[in-house]
Structure 1
Amino acid sequence: MKKIMLFLFIVSFAASGFPASQTCPDSKLQAKYIFYFIGDGMASTQVYAAEAMVENGRIEDSSGSRMKKLAMSNLDTAGSHRNYATNRLITDSAAAGTAMSCGEKTSVGTISMGPQRERRLPLITNALKEKGLKIGIVSTVSIDHATPACFYANQPSRNSYWHIANQLSDSGYDYFAGGGMKGARVEDGKRVFMPGKKKAAPENDPVEKARRAGYKIACSKEELQEVSPGRKVYAFEPDTLDSSMAMPYEIDRPADSMSLADYTREGIRLLDNPEGFFMMVEGGKIDWACHANDAFTALRDVIALDEAISEAVEFMNEHPEETLIVVTGDHETGGMTMGWAGTGYKTACTMLNSQTASYQMFNKSFLDEHKSKRLEEVGGEWDTSIDMNGSVKDALKDVFGLEYAKLSDYDKQRLEDAYDATMGESGLHRQEARLRFGGYKPITVAATHMFNQKAGLTWTTFSHTAIPVPIYASGAGAEKFGEYMDNTDLPLKIAEAAGIEDFPASRKKLAANSDAR
């Protein structure tokens, strides 16, 4: 009788509606080819808004009209993660990148070290390299920036760019691509070397160090395509990089220059081998555009990341039982939301496609020179009674589709006030100006805000937020990512999918010590 009751209990428990992830066994397939895509500053809103923005974004099928999905949101498994740092609920890219690379929490600004910056943390990339996989690191921002740095360096501060860049060569990894090197070498408070800006002795140059360590420095698409598999490579296009040594925003990228998808495709070609590979690919400037509250620029970079993901999906289709694709963000930036009080329930995300340049390009190609000329015209002193002239109005129409004559009096005044603030005399309290413009060019922020709002999008901050971030996954071990988790779980699950059982040993040691106490 007891056996019968036990059997009935087990049957009823199994049928009780627990999530499939709790009852279905994990895949026994082992991931040999691993793609780890990170959209810096990207959360669910950025993904969904990108889907809504795509031209001809609505299609008909048997179930009626529905929005197209991006490649990332078409992956088989979806979950989410929380991403707080040890010393702050709202994280930064260094603390988040450390958690996503090392499986441990740390303090903001710290690169792959413990929260007190005294203990180096083990990297998932090193564990995979020891297993025999080749390693690739790709980013649209400088290769020594916080997120990529967390996958090959250990430094107390994310601002130690020169020291981070030098660890690129020390890593011995196989493929680095995308951005240049940002940091200067500083001695006694003085810069003795600035990558790309100051000629200095070779020992000061991390790029030259990489060359001496056997890396092929490929500075064009043609040079990269000529590299044979098996050769270590650092690839970037110096002539296209901005002042932060980052790739151009996708909206501004010259047609003949390398895209994130191009670097991903070349990475696959160079890294592919019988032992497998791991490639981390970051869409780093999604974050920067969200900081500036420029929706179209951010969403176009989301789509550029998605095009890189499509390259991985194509590879997975050829190696379906051995490939794992994981896509996520490190945190959300800007507090971007779909829905604005001024448009109510209406949205018009496709209108964003009429924007022709990023906020950065608008400033560089028009606003900076315009401001200099206008101030010269008025003798260097700005008077708030001076209105915007025709050239500003034409530029706002050309870039953001804002026709001044058709704007409401309220919107015209918003632009005029922002223009005065840009020219140096706004009459606004310093705190109010900071809340309105976030330290960016006031007229540019006012224009992007107005343009975004007409599309039904708006922002809450110029900083990061603490909201959870989505995870998408397909392939060998993808079912491990279909739950709500901590960002520190991501590299552990990648390690498990790859058949590495003891990563990170330091985390297990810390847990054991904690249990002992």
Structure 2
Amino acid sequence: MTRRKPSSVMRLLLVVGLLLSPMLSGCATTGAMDTSAGKAKNVILFIGDGMGPSHFGAAWFYSTRVLGKNLRMVEVMNAGHTAYLVNDTADAIVAESAAAAGQIATGRRMTKGSVSMAADGKTPVQTIMEIGRHKGLATGLVTSSEITDATPAVFASHVSHRSDEASVAEQELRMRVEVLMGGGKQFFLPEISAGKRKDGRNLLDEAEASGYAVVSDAEELTAATGPKILGLFNMGNMAYEIDRGATSEPSLAEMTAKTLSVLSRNSKGFFAMIEGGRIDHAAHQNDAAGTIRDILAFDEAIGVAVDFARRNPDTLVVVTADHETAGMALFGDSREQLETALTAIQRAKASFEVISKAFGKSPTAEKIKEKVEEYLGIQINEGEARTVANDTIRKLDPANRSNPYLHTLAFVLRPYLCVGWIGQMHTASPLFAFGMGPGSERIKGLLHNTQLFDVIKAAME
């Protein structure tokens, strides 16, 4: 592939363009009549972990220009209401997932790392899912990361720090959440069974004894009938969408469809939180193709919910993010350059996670060149490969769980993919929130993410 020169266009102006283009172009997309008045019997909350406006813009451009179709998220925008969202926490301007998602779940400002706990670290704060449970609603939590990870955890558990995932697993089952799906099987199993529980308990056996259908792959999920399902499809996080074809894991859309099928049997309605959890992880690694593919998988799940809501107009669908990760931005001097780059993204066969494993320890420049061409279809030069090779000696950054040399790889790939990153950490970027259905009329203007709790609570009353 011919190497292209980096763009000289200022990133700031391009990001502004990204923010506006999807919304303006969406005006040409047919939207349904807004049916926001009345009470919501069902609530489906989608959280794209780490998905900022520029991530959305990149996925929208990719979907419309390469795949030839609009995002289902745009349907929600056109059929309902949209707001900008800020998410600063009790102790930080730049939020991490436990505090940020916890603010959506509780309506209170949270502190870093705490899971739906007051500032003293000892007092539980009631969550919107617990309120729904008290109203007799069925409940569900679905994610492509670990079901015990911060975002799902804040809706159904209370622990002083998000790292206590073994306690989160126990509490999610104790709350009797009807549908739990994602990765994280290790926190349900004792150490003797290759798990991470130090108390010797096997929560899978306990869940089965209490009426859960426990499933571990897509085929078993299809066959499961409920009324309660515990789907744990990986010991750790589920596979990135770009890598999922080599596994037996279900897609986020398939998990969403099963969740809605099970929960909708409750005559009083339901509350479900569905997370695109691996968007954040791919962005931390500065993996453009991995990020976009996981956003598209998230969007397919939203499409399942939109179709359900059109059949059941007493359903509130809300789509948002907990925070933005890594400052992803498309850039380019011309339509031709950008479309060539988007096509290059389409050729990617694997995530940076898979590619980094293929590099192995202390890879040579030649091996890096070989693997980049094999997995990404891009021919980098010797100097670029050497730049990456020289950086592989750096250790894993515990702050963002990403290999620093992957940021170097992403920098080397900039002229080929026309995607830039400011780093590998979270940012304070404002976010989108949009919704359709009863109560969505309250989603407007500039909101703090604690106010999404109020929006959902009011719709349920």
Give the shorter-chain TM-score range.
0.7 to 0.9
Note if 1:463 corresponds to 2:418.
Answer: no
Partner of residue 140, structure 2: 136
Q: Name the CA distance, whole Å, in 2 between partners of 1:388 and 1:394.
A: 9
Instruction: Establish whether residue 417 from structure 1 lines up as the match of residue 387 from structure 2.
Output: yes
In structure 2, the residue matched to 1:147 is 151
Q: Assess, with a 3 A threshold, how the Cα gap between structure 1 residues 149 and 110 changes in structure 2: closer, same or farther.
A: same
Which residue identity lines up with residue 267 of structure 1 in the other structure?
T
Q: Which aligned pairs between 1:335-354 and structure 2 lie closer than 5 A?
A: 335-339=327-331, 346-347=337-338, 348-354=341-347
1:388 pairs with 2:365: yes
In 2: Cα distance, 1:491 partner to 1:332 partner: 19
Tell me the alpha carbon deviations over residues 11-64 of structure 1, each in whole angstroms, 9 at most, x when there is no partner: xxxxxxxxxxxxxx99431111211000000011111100111274486xxxxx
- The code of the aligned residue for 2:279 comes to I
Give the structure 1 partner of residue 21 of structure 2.
none
Of the candidates 415, 428, 446, which is equivalent to residue 484 of structure 1?
A: 446
C-alpha separation between the residues in 2 aligned to 1:199 and 1:292?
A: 25
1:356 is matched with 349
User: Are 1:333 and 2:330 an aligned pair?
Assistant: no
> Which residues of 2 match residues 394-413 of structure 1 at below 5 A?
394-404=370-380, 407=381, 412-413=382-383
Aligned to 1:47: 56
Report the 3-state secondary structure (helix = DSSP H, G, I; strand = E; otherwise coil) of the residue aligned with 1:135.
strand
- 8 Å CA contact retained: 1:202, 1:209: no
Aligned to 2:409: 447
Give how far 1:265 is off: 0.4
CA contact (8 A) 1:145 1:182 kept: no
Q: Percent identity?
A: 29
CA distance in 2 between partners of 1:248 and 1:438 (Å): 16
Q: Secondary structure at the match of 1:211?
A: helix
Q: Which residue of 2 aligns with 1:113?
A: 117
Q: CA deviation at 1:131?
A: 1.3
Structure 1 CA distance for aligned equivalents of residues 192 and 58 of structure 2? 36
SS at match of 2:230: strand
2:320 aligned partner, one-letter code = T
Tell me the distance in 1 between the aligned counterparts of 2:425 and 2:192.
Answer: 28
Q: SS in structure 2 opposite 1:299?
A: helix
**CA distance in structure 1 between the aligned counterparts of 2:302 and 2:241, rounded to whole angstroms:** 15
Deviations 1:244-269 (A, max 9, x none): x1110000002653000000000111
* Corresponding residue number in structure 2 for 1:13: none
Q: Pick from 209, 213, 233: which aligns with 2:210?
A: 213
1:253 alignment partner, SS class: helix
* CA–CA distance in structure 2, aligned partners of residues 157 and 109 of structure 1: 5
Q: CA RMSD in A?
A: 2.8
Q: 1:323 — aligned with what? A: 315
Q: Structure 1 CA distance, aligned partners of 2:67 and 2:146?
A: 36
Give the AA of the match of 2:229. V
Q: For residues 165 and 439 of structure 1, do their structure 2 counterparts lie closer, same or farther at Cα, with a shift above 3 Å needed?
A: closer
Distance 1:58 1:254, change over 3 A: closer
Counterpart CA distance in 2 for 1:299 and 1:41 is 12
**1:42, 1:287 within 8 Å by CA — same for their partners in 2?**
yes
Distance in 2 (CA, whole Å) between partners of 1:133 and 1:464 is 34
Query: Is the Cα–Cα contact under 8 Å of residues 53 and 351 in structure 1 kept in the other structure?
Result: no
Distance 1:415 1:201, change over 3 A: closer
1:7 corresponding residue in structure 2: none
* 1:144, distance to aligned residue in structure 2 (A): 0.6
Mapped to 1, the partners of 2:46 and 2:440 lie a distance apart of: 14
Q: TM-score, normalised by structure 2?
A: 0.84
| Structure 2 residue ranges without an equivalent (≥5) | 1-33
C-alpha separation in 2, matches of 1:233 and 1:166: 15
Tell me the residue number matched to 1:72. Answer: 73
1:96 paired with 2:100, answer yes
Distance 1:227 1:252 in 2: 25
CA distance in 2, matches of 1:82, 1:459: 21
Assess, with a 3 A threshold, how the Cα gap between structure 1 residues 100 and 360 changes in structure 2: closer, same or farther.
same
1:283 aligned onto 2:276: yes
Shift in CA distance, 196/279, structure 1 to aligned 2, threshold 3 Å: farther
C-alpha spacing 1:210/1:353, structure 2 compared with 1 (3 Å) = same
Q: Is the 8 A contact 1:142 1:182 kept in 2?
A: no
Greater mean deviation of Cα atoms: 268-277 or 413-422:
413-422
Give the aligned length: 419
| CA gap 1:58/1:258 in 2 versus in 1, 3 angstroms | closer
Q: What is aligned with 2:194?
A: 197
1:182 shift after superposition: 4.6
Give the corresponding residue for 1:254: 245
Could you tell me how far apart the structure 2 residues matched to 1:438 and 1:159 are? 13
User: Structure 2 counterpart of 1:204, which letter?
Assistant: R
Superposition deviation, residue 357 in structure 1: 0.4
| Residue equivalent to 1:307 | 300
Post-superposition offset of 1:200: 7.9
Letter of the structure 2 residue corresponding to residue 103 of structure 1: G
Deviations 1:169-225 (A, max 9, x none): 11111100121245499xxxxxxx449625989852333332333322112333323
